[in-house]
Structure 1
Amino acid sequence: MKLQDKCKIINFADLGDERGKLVVVEGGQTIPFDIKRVFYIYGSDATVVRGEHANRESEFVLINVAGKSKVRITDGKEELIVELNKPMMGVYIPKMIWKDMYDFSADSVLLVLASTHYDGKEYIRSYDQYLQMTRGTEENE
């Protein structure tokens, strides 16, 4: 399966009217998992790189609710760069996909929805280790 098929762009409905914008995000509905953790990244700038890891068990949806940023997603074979620049757009990142978030605008607020509670042991923080692990699973596919 191609990387862009695994890491789908999600377009949320804009339910706003003359009073303002309204975007609804629901776990198990518009988000393909039940949401266990929510966090956001702000105060970064164009020189900062966040992420730089893969997760063994966690799935994520990233949404820039203000400003913009980019996310580089790779499975070790293909690479996909997504610009998150609309608050009604997100990107789904399944488990065992490497991610780097970068090129943050000064007003960027990157909302992250996660399928699991935090567990530092499930993080793979070495890209070389990640490549070794994914090469082992490639042969079994």
Structure 2
Amino acid sequence: MSLVKLIDFRTFSDPRGTLAVIEGGQDIPFDIRRIYYVYGLSTELQRGFHAHYELEQIAICLSGSCNFLLDDGRTKETWRLDSPHQGLRIEKMVWHEMFDFSPDCVLMVMASEHFEEADYIRDYDRFLAEVEHAANP
């Protein structure tokens, strides 16, 4: 089973440009409680290095490109985001790291929950232990 779940957003193009449409309750599989974006990213540094107990996310590279490493504790996959009309779904309990940002990268994320530090797992060994515990209670 692939960890990568891409969502293709509807687009409408004409000579003036392209409009991409994202509607809550239709295109996103959860209620959007928070939207954030990062830009001005170092092309040499990585971000992420965490998983969430409950939060789900859709990441969209609005400009430029970047890579994602997704890891559910059993399978690791790398995916490149480089299209403003595709979103990468990151489900709960998936470790994720972002890297190889292009100089013009603008990465926007829609999240299912408001920020709650207690929902973050920031230690990889702890993440693996949580995955093991969930599989063998």
Give the TM-score normalised by the residue count of structure 2. 0.95
Q: Partner residue of 1:73?
A: 70
Q: Partner residue of 1:114?
A: 111
Q: Partner residue of 2:79?
A: 82
Gaps of 5+ in 2: none
Q: What amino acid sits opposite 1:48 in the alignment? A: L
Deviations 1:83-119 (A, max 9, x none): 0001011110111110001110000000000000001
Q: Hey, which bits of structure 1, 4+ residues long, moved more than 4 A? A: none
Deviations 1:36-83 (A, max 9, x none): 000001111221111110011100000000000011000011011110
Q: Partner residue of 1:125?
A: 122
Deviations 1:1-31 (A, max 9, x none): x243xx4111112212111110011222111
Q: Distance in 2 between matches of 1:70 and 1:27?
A: 25
Q: What amino acid sits opposite 2:113 in the alignment? A: T
Q: 2:17 aligns with which of 17, 20, 24?
A: 20
Please identify which structure carries the higher strand content.
2
Q: What amino acid sits opposite 1:67 in the alignment? A: G
1:137 aligned onto 2:134: yes
The 8 Å contact of residues 54 and 99 in structure 1, kept in 2 or not, is answered as yes
CA RMSD between the two structures: 1.1
The 8 Å contact of residues 10 and 22 in structure 2, kept in 1 or not, is answered as no
Q: Partner residue of 2:45?
A: 48
Aligned residue-pair number:
137
- 3-state secondary structure, aligned to 1:53: strand
The 8 Å contact of residues 6 and 87 in structure 2, kept in 1 or not, is answered as yes
The 8 Å contact of residues 3 and 79 in structure 1, kept in 2 or not, is answered as no
Gaps of 5+ in 1: none
The 8 Å contact of residues 3 and 75 in structure 1, kept in 2 or not, is answered as no
Which deviates further from its counterpart, 123-132 or 40-49? Answer: 40-49
Q: Distance in 2 between matches of 1:48 and 1:103?
A: 8
Percentage identity across paired residues of the two chains: 40
Q: What amino acid sits opposite 1:78 in the alignment? A: T
Give the TM-score normalised by the residue count of structure 1. 0.93
